[in-house]
Structure 1
Amino acid sequence: MKQPKYLFNPGRMSRQDNTLKFTPVDEEGREGQPRFLPIEQVGDLYVFGSLDANSALYNFLGQEGIAVHFFNYYEHYTGSFMPREYLLAGKMQVDQTKHYLSAKKRIEIARRFVEGAANNILRVLKYYENRTRSTVDCADATLSEAVLTVERLLAAVPLATDIPMLMGIEGNIRQTYYDTFDAIVGATFCLEGRSKRPPKNELNALISFGNMLCYTACLSTIYHTQLNPTISFLHEPGARRYSLALDIAEVFKPILVDRLIFRMINKRQLQPSDFRVEIGGCVMREAARKRFVQGFDEQLKETIKHRVLGRSVSYRHLIKLECYKLQKHLLGVEEYRPFKAWW
């Protein structure tokens, strides 16, 4: 079974028959023990250190449908090598483009993405509100007020008449949500407002890194459907970015990323000592980065009992189901309803 592989050390990768050979190389140029990755076991490659590879390797990866996602020293996502789309279909391309070009059709889909994200945010907030309800303190009050505010903003989503107005509502929902993070994680970490490039503290670094992992998971899933990842509805399509992955990631970030962050912090699996602040921003130490990536990967593999399908599905498969639902909407088969967590 294909699984994503994570490369944290700098090194050199090459093809050896039908196997990927990765040789770690330290700062002095000394080679370590090579690792061999059978190609049939490799899903995507996530590269967090410098990678030395040639065009022959990328041709091989392209033939096998393996994407490579790159992150720089500060855990910022920098780009992806994506194989040639093998499932693209002309009718889907035409219908996806038509829905983007039609203001009415586009806003309808964009509203659904915001509704899905807001409902999943509410699910997270209510979970932690219930946990703190037994102790009447400022944390409980902060979460209760946030729930009411997000519910009020969610009610305004159907009234948004254009994308800028909708993005404004979505931004207010996110800001209200982020204002509760300090109450959820306690005194160990402090958000002090959302900052991205660079993240100014530990919690911001975790959010940015987790969001990029969610984005690349959505991008890889879209690749295995007939959807075009460059044609989006909530986010504006732009040069050199796969904006549909941003749309779909909005729905899943509260469930896949934020819950993981809260769980690891509250279980003390992440400590302030796992980070360091530099001129370029706050970054995770390598050991902490590995723990977080491992936690994210395990969460994608975790299964839940699907209410409609009546069987257990993984979180990764939930993302694929979201893509399939969007495809049906674009083809006029079934109206798109965003994923909303029920647990």
Structure 2
Amino acid sequence: MKKTYYLFNPGRLSRKDNTLKFTPVDESGREGAPKYLPVEGISDLYCFGSLDANSAMYNFLGKHGISVHFFDYYEHYTGSFQAKEYLLAGKMQISQTKHYLSPKKRQFIAARMIEGAAFNILKNLRYYQNRGKDLETCIAYINGFSENISSCMDIPSLMGLEGNIRQCYYGAFDLVLKDHAMEGRSKQPPMNEVNALISFGNMMCYTLCLDQIYHTQLNPTISFLHEPGYRRYSLALDLAEIFKPILVDRTIFRVLNKREVKSGDFDFHVNKVILKESGKKAFIKAFEERLNETIKHRTLKKHVSYKHLVKLECYKLSKHLLGIEEYKPFKVWW
């Protein structure tokens, strides 16, 4: 089974036969001990430090279908190298565009996505409500917002409703977390530890969704809930809304409540808080464990990983766009 590899240190990537050789390089230019990665076992690379690689290396990665995702010092996603879009199909592209251009068809898909996100948010809150947290008021508010999804007449109204759900949901974080306070959502930059983890986790979820979209016939630039924009893959933002409560938020609750990530794992600046390398590694370890967990799928009648659930969501959306089966968003059933 192929794995995701995370490169935290700056270094040089080269090829040795059918193996990738990563040589870390420190600020003084001194090389560390190289690490060898078998190319057959790599699905993608996440680079949090500068990477030195030539065009021949990227040709090699492209032939093996290995994606490379890049992030800057402040944990922002900056771009990806993707192999040739070998799965893109004209019929899907036309159908996806038609659904975006039709207000009614676009509204249907966008509403289902908000419906799925709200359901999974409520599932999180009820989980902690059953464990002694006083979340009844927040649950009632979000239930009320959710009942209005079907009555929204346009995308801005849906986005406003989604914003109200998120605001109420994030307000509950202070009750779920033991030793940390969220104190409202802040981003670009995040102002405290919880917000730094949310920003980092959301970025990881967005990149995961982008990578899964790439392995289907969907075009990642044509979206339904978020407005397609320049220089972003907005369909990944759409799908991430559904999976952030299950993949990101549950991981945040775990690493903070179990003290797997501590205050010492953050860099505190005058106007922002960012994760240190130790914090990134601890969060990614928990996030990867979450992705690799398996559940018994009710339709497929077999165990699938959380990571594979994202790809299945892409397939469901594809079937809807091609008129095969109406789209129903992923909702936690356990």
**Which range, TM-score by smaller chain?**
over 0.9
* CA separation of 1:211 and 1:158: change in aligned 2, threshold 3 A: same
User: Which amino acid in structure 1 is aligned with residue 88 of structure 2?
Assistant: L
5+ long unaligned stretches in structure 2: none
User: Could you report, residue by residue, the CA deviation over 1:57-78 in whole angstroms, capped at 9, with x for unpaired residues?
Assistant: 1121122111111111121212
Aligned length: 334
Moved over 6 A (4+): none
- For 2:235, the equivalent position in structure 1 comes to 244
For 1:57 and 1:165, locate their aligned partners in 2 and report how far apart those are by CA, in whole Å.
47
Cα RMSD between the aligned structures? Answer: 1.0
User: Which amino acid in structure 2 is aligned with residue 189 of structure 1?
Assistant: H
- For 1:271, the equivalent position in structure 2 comes to 262
Aligned with 2:222 (options 225, 228, 231): 231
Aligned with 1:316 (options 294, 298, 307): 307
For 1:263 and 1:20, locate their aligned partners in 2 and report how far apart those are by CA, in whole Å.
34
For 1:39 and 1:83, locate their aligned partners in 2 and report how far apart those are by CA, in whole Å.
14
Equivalent residues in 2 for 1:170-185, closer than 5 Å? 170-185=162-177
**How far did residue 269 of structure 1 move?**
1.1
Equivalent residues in 2 for 1:192-207, closer than 5 Å? 192-207=183-198
User: Which amino acid in structure 1 is aligned with residue 141 of structure 2?
Assistant: T
For 1:266 and 1:40, locate their aligned partners in 2 and report how far apart those are by CA, in whole Å.
37
**How far did residue 279 of structure 1 move?**
4.4
5+ long unaligned stretches in structure 1: 133-138
Deviating more after overlay: 112-121 vs 282-291: 282-291
Equivalent residues in 2 for 1:1-343, closer than 5 Å? 1-132=1-132, 139-140=133-134, 143-186=135-178, 188-279=179-270, 281-343=272-334
For 2:36 and 2:271, locate their aligned partners in 1 and report how far apart those are by CA, in whole Å.
34
User: Could you report, residue by residue, the CA deviation over 1:263-295 in whole angstroms, capped at 9, with x for unpaired residues?
Assistant: 111112121122121246211121121111111
User: Which amino acid in structure 1 is aligned with residue 149 of structure 2?
Assistant: V
TM-score normalised per structure 2:
0.98
For 2:93 and 2:314, locate their aligned partners in 1 and report how far apart those are by CA, in whole Å.
14
For 1:257 and 1:166, locate their aligned partners in 2 and report how far apart those are by CA, in whole Å.
22
User: Which amino acid in structure 2 is aligned with residue 157 of structure 1?
Assistant: I
1:131 match: secondary structure? coil
User: Could you report, residue by residue, the CA deviation over 1:108-164 in whole angstroms, capped at 9, with x for unpaired residues?
Assistant: 0000000000000000011111111xxxxxx51xx1111001110001010111110
**How far did residue 17 of structure 1 move?**
2.2
User: Which amino acid in structure 1 is aligned with residue 299 of structure 2?
Assistant: V
For 1:281 and 1:47, locate their aligned partners in 2 and report how far apart those are by CA, in whole Å.
22
1:110 match: secondary structure? helix
Contact 1:74 1:280 in 2 (8 A): no
**How far did residue 16 of structure 1 move?**
2.1
* Identical-residue share of aligned pairs (%): 65
